[in-house]
Amino acid sequence: MEEQAIILTHEPSTEIARLVSEATPDLVFLLTDETTERLCRPLLADCDALCDAVSIVIGATDVHKNLDTLADVWRQLGTGGGSRHSLMVCLGGGMVTDLGGFAASTFKRGIRYINVPTTLLAMVDAAVGGKTGINFNGLKNEIGVFRKSVAVVIDSRFLRTLDAPNLCSGYAEMIKHGLISHEAHWAELLRFDLSQPDYAELQRLVAQSIGVKEHIVEVDPLEHGIRKALNVGHTVGHAFESLALAESRPVLHGYAVAWGMVSELYLSCTKVGFPKDKMRQTVDYIRTHYGTFVFDCDHYERLYDYMTHDKKNVGGIVNFTLLADIGDIRLDQTATKEEIFAMLDFFRETMN
């Protein structure tokens, strides 16, 4: 997989202008959603490289991360005169970088793109690593390709445009990176005050978090092995997310991942010996900052069905990435239906 430059800066306009100049595209397209067009594009008003860009604005939130929106972006790339020599700048959160990256990767069999993530979730997860895609048939990220952007331009000033729930959503992925890296990083993440964030400290933690993901992606770009470590919390989290979407009560991705980590840490304890005290510390932090996801035993079969459709599975057997300790990753772990139902019992008893 091609290289992806990660650029942490407080001068994003300068960096974007440099990258566009080096790419020498025939046309530049700027993809935003309705929210980032209003709140974040003004922060790049001084970027000459984007002044003449063809603007594509899509609907905000994950409900628009679908085939209809993707087709609309393809259509606007075509009617806007896009060619294989064009470049797209994706300015937004994970939905914009996922869908925009997929649109760019498939239009004319692939044009170059730059990610400028504006949410914490996109900075530490969605915009980095080359995964692109859309939701399809009621399932998260069901259709997509691996293809890295030319660069990811990160400026923590964009985080000041976020409300508290979206900041928390991104921070969940950082907690995951702490769990799969080392105890010191995990501990400092649990000490961070999300209710009154220190943005300078957060920028430092973001850099560390990106470093964790970058190292894993470099070793395993196409998720044949250790990259599966990045799926901690996601098997159950995606099931929660899919159920919430199906019941018209969508939840932010990071919240679903946080609740998924609660569930999967329980499995880690019972199946591979993750320390109970560290599980409790992590669960307490998540319960305090993320609340809970409400469901009852009548939802168990449906949640299990969502888990069986997870992309990591082989032969319909639900596959988890579990932890024997902080940084002690156990890939390709399975659980019976009874064990999964017991895990859901634990979640409801502990989080409610």
Active site residue 173: yes
Which of 109, 137, 224, 349 is catalytic? The answer is 109
Name the 3-class secondary structure at 323.
Answer: strand
**Contact, 88 vs 27, CB < 8 A?**
no
Point out the catalytic residue in the list 227, 271, 278, 299: 227
Catalytic residue chosen out of the listed positions 112, 228, 234, 278: 234
Q: Which candidate in 148, 213, 278, 299 is catalytic?
A: 213
User: Which 3 state secondary structure label does DSSP give 128?
Assistant: coil
- Bridge partners, 113 (sequence order): 88
Which of 238, 271, 278, 299 is an active site residue? 238
Is 238 a residue of the active site? Answer: yes
Q: 10 an active-site residue?
A: no
- Which of these is catalytic: 140, 148, 253, 271? 253
- To the query of whether residue 147 is one of the catalytic residues in this protein, the response is no
Q: Catalytic: 176?
A: no
Other C-beta atoms closer than 10 Å to the C-beta of 100 total 30
Catalytic, out of 15, 173, 241, 264: 173
Query: In the chain, which ranges are E strands?
Result: 5-8, 28-33, 54-58, 87-92, 112-117, 134-136, 139-143, 151-154, 319-325, 328-334
Largest Cα separation within the chain, whole Å, is 59
Asked if 234 is an active-site residue, the reply is yes
Which of 65, 112, 131, 147 is labelled catalytic? 131
CA–CA distances in Å: residue 31 to residues 16, 100, 135: 14, 7, 18
- Rounded CA-CA distance 188/157 in Å is 22
Q: Which are the catalytic amino acids?
A: 109, 131, 173, 213, 223, 227, 231, 234, 238, 253
